[in-house]
Chains A and B, each alone.
Chain A
Amino acid sequence: SQTIHQWPATLVQPVGSPLSLECTVEGTSNPNLYWYRQAAGRGLQLLFYSVGIGQISSEVPQNLSASRPQDRQFILSSKKLLLSDSGFYLCAWSVGSSGYTQYFGPGTRLTVL
């Protein structure tokens, strides 16, 4: 069965510091991968998605970036965090055999101070 991991689970970072959040998927090949952000009291907003290694599409212009160095690894990064980057970050995966239904990881709670 497929599983998805995210780390760290919780992160507190100062404004202006760099960021690296990691997401890995097990038990499937060539998944579509997604990064979403959930601000307090809101639904989820898609940040990036990837259909393959090195292929990244951005939905929202901002100071975040994403990379996919391996088939089942998706990384969210920033060179300098802003206060507005605080939130809950969720990674998701989908494959055609399940109708591209998206399944989510446990998430990372990021607080920028």
Chain B
Amino acid sequence: AQTVTQSQPEMSVQEAETVTLSCTYDTSESDYYLFWYKQPPSRQMILVIRQEAYKQQNATENRFSVNFQKAAKSFSLKISDSQLGDAAMYFCAYRRAQGGSEKLVFGKGTKLTVNP
């Protein structure tokens, strides 16, 4: 079974600085998707970024970028120019590519604190 591990239960960063959140996963599949979701205090899960495993280029969305290392099964999230609104729980998630109804497998999350 696929598993997702986030080894950092909590992280903190100064406003305007850069922080990297770690994620590793275990799978025997060659085709899959990886995601980072943000869960602010409102608790709604918000998609931050998505990476297709077949793409070598790392995904970026404004201040958010990933470092996808397929051989190492590593998928870290870098947040640049951190803002107070970035404070939230961040979840890494995995989904097999076969079939549109495939479930997301989540890590346990990393709580990010942004200090002013």
Task: Give chain A's interface residues, CB within 8 Å of chain B.
Answer: 32, 34, 36, 38, 41-46, 49, 51, 57, 59, 88, 90, 92, 94-96, 99-107, 109
Contact = CB atoms under 8 A, between A and B. Distances in A.
Contacts of A45: 106
B45 A104 contact: yes
Q: Tell me what chain A mostly uses at the interface: helix, strand, loop, or mixed.
A: strand
Interface of B: 4, 33, 35, 37, 42-47, 50, 52, 91, 95, 100-104, 106-109
Contact of B44 (A94, A96, A104): A104
Contact of A43 (B46, B52, B108): B108
20 contacts: A38-B43, A41-B108, A43-B4, A43-B106, A44-B45, A49-B101, A49-B103, A57-B101, A100-B95, A100-B100, A100-B101, A101-B35, A101-B47, A101-B50, A102-B104, A104-B45, A105-B44, A106-B44, A107-B44, A109-B43
